[in-house]
Structures are given as C-alpha cells and as structure tokens.
Structure 1
Amino acid sequence: MFVETARHHRVSPLAHVLLREAEPELAAELKPDRDRAMATHLSASITLDAIDRLLDGLRWATFKGPILSEHAHPAPGLRLYNDIDVLVSPRELRAATTRLAEAGWTVADYRDMLRNAATPGEMHWVSPSGILIDLHWSMINMASTRRQFSVPTDEILDRRISTDLGLSSTWALNHTDALVHVCLHAALTGAHRMLLILDADQLARKTTDWDAVVTRAHDWGAETAVAIVLARASALLNTPLPDRLDRELGVSAGLRVVTNAVDRLAPVPALRSSTSVARLMARSARPGSGGTLSAVGAKGMRGVAERLGKGQRRTQPAGREPADDEALEAYLRAVETHAGVSP
C-alpha cells in the first residue's frame, strides 16, 4: 500500500531516498522510479539545449517538469515528469513549428485534435530521440477554461529569465509567474497529489515578494486557486505563508470554512485515487469565492450524474488519423486568428 500510494502521489523517488538506509528492502522497490526520474531529467536537459539552438531569436520558455525538478525539489533532478513543456508566443508558433519540422521533429497529435474547433492551447511534438514536447501558445489548454482566467502569454515571456539547467542554461518563467502558475495548474488538475503540493511549497519557501504574488494572482483571476493550494501546502508541509495572505487574495471566510472542512474530510496524503471531494474542491477554483462555490455545486452534480450512469462517457474515435500538413495548417491559422495576426 505504501508503494502504491507513493507512486500515486508521484513522490516515489523521494521515498526511495528517504528510506534507502532505514528500510532498504522497501526502498529497493522504489529504486526504478528514482532511476527513471534521473534518466528523464538528463534527457530533458539535453533536449532543452537543442531547443535553445533551434528557437534562437524566438521568445520561448520552459516551465513545470525540468525547471521544478532542478530548482524546486528537495532532491534536485528526482522530480517525476513525463514530458517537457515549452511556451512560445502565439505570434511565433508558426516559426517555431517550422524550425522543429525542419530539424526532424514530428507532430504527435491526431488530425481531429488539431482541427478541434475549441483550439487547444498546446500541441505535441516528438524529438528525433523520442522525447515528448508539449508546445504551448497558452498556459491553459482547454478553451472553456481559458475564458475563465487571464494568463497572457506575451507578458509572461516578457518577464522570462535565463536559469541554469544541467550543464547549460535555459529560458524559464520568473519566480512570481512560476509560483502562481504552479498553484493554478495544481488546482485545475485537482491538487490531489502530494507532488503538486510540494511544488507549491518549494517555490513558496523561496518567495520574497508576496505583494507581487498577490498582484499576479488577481491579474490572472487565480487568487482562489493560489489560496487553496498554498493552504494545503501550509497544512501538510508547514509552508511559511504571510498571515494576511487570504485577506489580500480576497478569500471569503465562508470559502475558507468549506475548503478547511474538505481538507479534513479528505486529506490529500490519504488519497490513492483521482476521485475525491478534495480534487473536486480544487478543480472548482474560479475568480472570486462565490464563483468557486457555485462551481463546486455544478461539478458535484455532474459527478453524481456520471456515477449514476446519466453522464455520457467519452470514447476515443475509432481509426484516428495522424495529423497531416492540412491539419497543422488549420491549427496554426486558428491560433493566429486567436492572437489577431495574419500568417
């Protein structure tokens, strides 16, 4: 059960490090997870060095996986992740894809994914060595979710910083953007795994300008998401937070009562599945306490309907076709239309 839970929460490499002397037999079961994390991070570092050369002259930055693994993890290089996230301006997405294709990279999406009328905020590429890249023009993938928040790509890229990664350097989000995005991403996925809470904890411990964090959270409409995730980090990992943070983020007393009750009823460390009221609460984070509580009710009713068999199950279409040049062009035109530019 311990191994299963550690893997569910994606902290098995850390568990291996902590247990290898006191519980060597148990730690041995988790050693493959540690080895996989190390190998992934090494490959990501090499791949990002290649991306830096390919995208030279374009504005881009990487976020989440490799950056958090090296700069926001208790054991640098051992954070589990499966792919590399790269953000480019929607105005330069066409140029970025052209360069990747000319260098032998291939599109990993299916044709129907790229022709989706609700244009996804990312597409997927595979490097010649087989590394999966999520190429974002928006930090939020789903169009319906993008409409509820304001996370401007170009402004984020204007604030990007150069940081060390492996034996080289890469472009990354500045600290404030990284913390607010980690909290928003964690909330939108449920904040139900300890790895996501740990990401927020590690970045919060390095934060010196909380006024900037509050301002950015309000600008993005992410204040409730930031409050929920950082409250869980504080409760579970003793993350040091400013006393007035809830008030400055605009979190109401009623919402805090609800979130605290949820976290007591469904503590994140005890979870071993994706279905939980804790996940429902975090995924309902919306700008303002009222919007969040309304979303909790709406999502809860949908969940009940699905469990009773009234919801429609999504099925993968049979015979999906790999993306072709026509689908790629349709996707790029849709992004450019969204950005208000001509190809």
Structure 2
Amino acid sequence: MTDVGELLGSIAASGMECAQGAWPAEPLDDVAWAELLRRVRAERLPGFLVHAIGSGALAATPQQAVQAKREHLVAVGRVLGIETGALQILRQLASAGVQARVLKGPAVAQLDYPDPALRLFVDIDLIVRSDDFDRAVVALTEAGHHRRHRQPRPGFDRRFSKGTSFVVSDHLVVDLHRTFVMGPFGLWVDLVEVWRSSSTFTMGGARLQALDREVRFMHACFHAALGDVVPRLVPQRDVVQMLLDVRLDVDRVLLLARNWRAEAVVAKAVTESWRTLRLDLRPDLVVWALGYRPSRREARELALYSDSESGYARKSLGALRAVPGLRDKAAFLRALAFPDPSYVEGRYVSPRQRLTKGLFAVAGLRSRKRSS
C-alpha cells in the first residue's frame, strides 16, 4: 500500500534530478488518489503534482491526470486574482510613500523556479521598513482593509513584532512584515542588511522588488524551520530550490546566519528539507548543516517554534533576551503586561484574565527550561 505522506515528499521534489523519489509502480486506487488530492491541496502542491504526472514519474490513469490538471488550473486562477489584489496593495502603499518588498510566493516563484506555475501561493507577504510600519498600517486601514490583530500598545509592532495581517477580501490576506518571524530569531535579524540590496521581478506587468538572493534564502530557511509546528513541503522545496542554485553565495549565507544568531535555524531548515525531499547530492552547505549541533540555548529557542503548546506568551518571553537595552525591555514587558483595553477586548474577559494566562504560560516555559 502506498504511503501518501512519503509520496507527497516525492511530488514536492518533482523535477529535481538529484531527488530519489519513492514512486508507486501503478496508479493509485480511488481511495488513495482522493486522499492524495486532498493533501496536495492542503500542501499547495498542484503544480508539482501535474509535473510529476507529466514527466512520467507518477503513474496515473487518464482520469487522474485530468483531475490533477483541473486542480492546477483552479489554483492558478486563484493566484492570478491574488496577484491583481497584491498590485493594488502595493500601489496603496506607494501612494503613502511606503516602499515594500515582496516575500515568498510570487517573488520566489518568479526568481527561483524555472516555471512559476509550479510554485503556487494563497496569500501575499510584504516587508516594509520599521520606520514605515505605522504609516503602512494607516494606509491600508484607510483603504478599507481589515486588520486582524491590534497591537498591545502604540508603537509596539514597529519596535518588537513580526508584523500584522490585513483581510483585503474573501480571497486575499496580506501579511505585512517588518521582520521575518516573531520571537527571538525575528529580533536578531539585521534589518539594515535585509534592506541593503534587492532583486527585481515582474508581476502583472509591474516591476517589483524582492529580497536579494542570499537574504531570500535566509527567509526561506526561517519559513521552513520556524513557520509551522509541522514543516510544510513548499517552504522546504524553496530551501532546496535556492540552495542548488550555483549563484547562491554560501559564504555570505553562513555569515548572515552567524551574525543573526540563526545558524541553528539554517541548519534545521536545510537538514529537514533534504531528508524530506530525499535528495542524494551533498553540497557544502548541506554537509555543514548535517554536522551542525545546536547548543542547549539554541535548542530551547528552536523549541519555541516547534512546540505546539508554545503560544504568544511563551514566544514573547523567549524574545525578551533579544530585545536590546533595559529601557526597551521595560517597554516590551509593559506593553505585554498592561496592554491597551482595545487589545484585550474580544480576546479575554478582562485584562486580569489575560495577565493570568500569560503568567501560566511563562511558568510552563520556565519549567521546561529547568527540565532541559
């Protein structure tokens, strides 16, 4: 019986000559095929599924091949709508004097894949400078877009958070970043280096800016290693796709990882991606990653992102040591302990309930630290 989970990894690696895919000799039966389609949708892999069938790697009946193409066409149609909405958002930000760069999705599809139709996406991620963050939020709010989460206190997001999200329509959510992730690793990212140079690509006839190649790879590693408790396949394919590009400056990647205290993040992303996609090449960066051993401190910091019980309070406590200076640490703690009433409204019965839950979460994290 075919292991659908293992097959998904092979599909995610479709088109890579160094991939050791585990392919069934015969087409899947109806039950297994239905399960595969469901998980392909969830993992956003329709482009890779069509490629696997078209290349002959994955055996499929004529009906299954048609269904796969239909899934892909529907997903591509959604992507085109998302791109149109994203261009509108970028125009609204530009009108407010805010420069934004595109993260993940369309930028990676256009810059790092031979065929952008392989790498599909369901939302848009943008990064703006910290000094522009409040202005960007005002611009999108005045344009009628709904902000999902309030900040604890004015100025908190531009100083300490990853960013926020806006619901633009039923089909489009925009994640507005000022750094890559919440928690300590996000605060250690050198944002001056992030903005030092850029790459450009075309979307819908417009020339847009993205992160430069090595910073884009670093963000892919953050996304693959820290973005979800259970790593997703498309971010892992992104890591592999970029790593195998001979234009990637590995020495600069390692320098960025060291300067950002993110060596454990890069090692985790590369190692897990390589194993999941079953690749038989061992480039220098992979050899380094396989041999990297995180310190106890790094292991605790990684656990903030991989532990399903690690919520906002625990990540916030973990971030405290990354906040520079006593004054900023005090402002960080004050905002979390005593947020504005508007932040608490709808989430908790009262500020006291929020503080109590936060203290329980903090106590749990400290207990885990002692046990490790």
TM-score normalised by length of structure 1: 0.65
Map residues 217-232 of structure 1 onto 2, 5 A cutoff. Answer: 217-232=257-272
Q: Which residue of 1 aligns with 2:251?
A: 211
Of 231, 240, 250, the residue aligned with 1:192 is 231
Task: Mark the CA change 1:227 to 1:96 in structure 2 (over 3 Å): closer, same or farther.
Answer: same
Find out whether 1:131 has 2:172 as its counterpart: yes
Map residues 239-318 of structure 1 onto 2, 5 A cutoff. Answer: 240-243=281-284, 246-247=287-288, 251-252=291-292, 255=293, 288-294=294-300
Structure 1 stretches of 5 or more lacking a match? 256-287, 304-316, 322-343
Find out whether 1:114 has 2:151 as its counterpart: yes
Shift of 1:201: 1.2
Q: Which residue of 2 aligns with 1:79?
A: 119
Find out whether 1:13 has 2:50 as its counterpart: no
- Answer yes or no: is the 8 Å Cα contact 1:73–1:202 preserved in 2: yes
Q: Which residue of 2 aligns with 1:164?
A: 202
- Answer yes or no: is the 8 Å Cα contact 2:103–2:211 preserved in 1: yes
Map residues 40-189 of structure 1 onto 2, 5 A cutoff. Answer: 40-56=78-94, 57-73=97-113, 75-102=115-142, 104-110=143-149, 113-115=150-152, 119=157, 120-127=161-168, 131-140=172-181, 142-143=182-183, 146-147=186-187, 150-188=188-226, 189=228
Work out the CA distance in 1 between the residues paired with 2:212 and 2:98. 18
Structure 2 stretches of 5 or more lacking a match? 1-34, 310-343, 349-372
Work out the CA distance in 2 between the residues paired with 1:292 and 1:98. 37
Shift of 1:293: 4.1
RMSD: 3.6
Local SS of the residue matching 1:105: coil
Residue deviations 1:147-198 (CA, integer Å, cap 9, x gap): 5xx1133431232232222422211000000111101211012463322211
Residue deviations 1:33-89 (CA, integer Å, cap 9, x gap): 312331232123323333343333433201011212333346413423221001111
Q: Which protein, 1 or 2, shows the higher relative CO under an 8 Å CA cutoff with sep ≥ 6?
A: 1
Q: Which residue of 2 aligns with 1:26?
A: 64
Task: Mark the CA change 1:294 to 1:63 in structure 2 (over 3 Å): closer, same or farther.
Answer: closer
Among the aligned pairs, what percent are the same residue?
23
Aligned length: 268
Find out whether 1:37 has 2:83 as its counterpart: no
Task: Mark the CA change 1:245 to 1:82 in structure 2 (over 3 Å): closer, same or farther.
Answer: closer
Work out the CA distance in 2 between the residues paired with 1:66 and 1:100. 20
TM-score normalised by length of structure 2: 0.61
Task: Mark the CA change 1:66 to 1:38 in structure 2 (over 3 Å): closer, same or farther.
Answer: same
Work out the CA distance in 1 between the residues paired with 2:140 and 2:151. 17
Q: Which amino acid in structure 1 is aligned with residue 201 of structure 2?
A: T
Rg comparison, structure with higher value: 2
- Answer yes or no: is the 8 Å Cα contact 1:106–1:125 preserved in 2: yes
Work out the CA distance in 1 between the residues paired with 2:245 and 2:307. 39
Task: Mark the CA change 1:297 to 1:129 in structure 2 (over 3 Å): closer, same or farther.
Answer: closer
Q: Which amino acid in structure 2 is aligned with residue 19 of structure 1?
A: I
Shift of 1:32: 4.7
- Answer yes or no: is the 8 Å Cα contact 1:201–1:239 preserved in 2: no
- Answer yes or no: is the 8 Å Cα contact 1:52–1:170 preserved in 2: no
Task: Mark the CA change 1:54 to 1:207 in structure 2 (over 3 Å): closer, same or farther.
Answer: farther
